[in-house]
Amino acid sequence: MNQGLQDFSGRLLLVGCGNMAGAMLDRWLAAGLDGARVAIVDPFAAPRDGVVQYASLAEWQAAGGVADWIMLGMKPQQLGEIAETLAPLATGDVHLLSILAGVSLADLAARFSGARAHVRILPNLAARIGAGVTAVATLGNVDHETIAALLDILGRTVTLPDDSTMDLVTAFTGSGPAFVFRLIESYAAAGERLGLSAEDALALATATFGGATALLADSGEKPGTLIAQVASKGGTTQAGLDILDSDGQLAALLTNVLRAARDRGRELADLARGEG
């Protein structure tokens, strides 16, 4: 993993800086990115020390704004409006990065045809602490070394051959932390219903999920192998597993969760293209 971004020499513009783009930026700044090389176009974004912020692209342009790395972090439905102003500026050596759900590389290339490269990025919120997972697919003459420097500092990077599965990845890893948080919340609520205090239930649930995932990542074992190490025939763990595994309901539920999130990504893509 890269140790820092002190050597990043580009000029970075973030168009939209909400929770996800903000988490990425905060991690980059913490890793040594010079805030003077960054500009934000977002009237509602939280201010960052040393980073200039503008209410609109017009304001940024009027101030003489220049960028050779541009990341789109606004709502996908705003793509048409933003592209109309931004496309004439995203030319030459500009890398056009996007974390927009549902917006394909082909969509980006059509909207920003003058850019040197188009990079579709799917991070998740754990990027804020360098523990995220980021899927990336690229098109064009890409500076892969700089892309790696920006993404590896966020956690684990998975490079896809194309973006054909990105809607599923959006649901799987992008939305995934929210699903895990909901599972932890529900697990804690179950403990509370059975007699634990709310504070103890949440603390125990958080530690249990955190320890289990850390062990899985560190051991290199398959989940089933570790399950067998915890569960004994006729024991307490197996009694609970019998409920979880009943009629394949858990797998079916999670499949439906992912399907709904994936399909919404496709709907957002249609909205971004003006087809919704």
What's the pLDDT tens digit per position in 145-182?
A: 999 999 999 999 999 999 999 989 989 999 999 999 99
Enumerate the β-bridge partners of residue 70. 13, 96
Share of the chain above pLDDT 90, in %: 89
- How do residues 177-232 score in pLDDT, each as one tens digit? 999 999 999 999 999 999 999 999 999 999 999 999 999 999 999 999 999 999 99
Same fold, 12-165 and 176-267: no
Helix axes 223-230, 198-219, angle to 10 degrees: 120
User: Structure pTM?
Assistant: 0.84
pLDDT of 1 reads: 41
The average pLDDT across 61-75 equals 95
Determine the Cα–Cα distance for residues 269 and 274; give it in Å rounded to an integer: 9
pLDDT for 79 beyond 80: yes
What is the pLDDT, as a whole number, of residue 4?
A: 78
Residue 276: band (very low, low, confident or very high) from pLDDT cuts 50, 70, 90? low
State how far the Cα of 163 lies from the Cα of 156, in Å rounded to an integer: 18
233: DSSP letter: T
**CATH assignment, 12-165:** 3.40.50.720
Distance from first CA to last CA of the chain, Å, rounded?
Answer: 40
Confidence of residue 267 (pLDDT cuts 50, 70, 90): confident
Which option is the CATH number for 176-267: 1.10.3210.10, 1.10.3730.10, 3.40.640.10, 3.40.50.720?
1.10.3730.10
Q: How is the chain split into domains, by residue range?
A: 12-165, 176-267
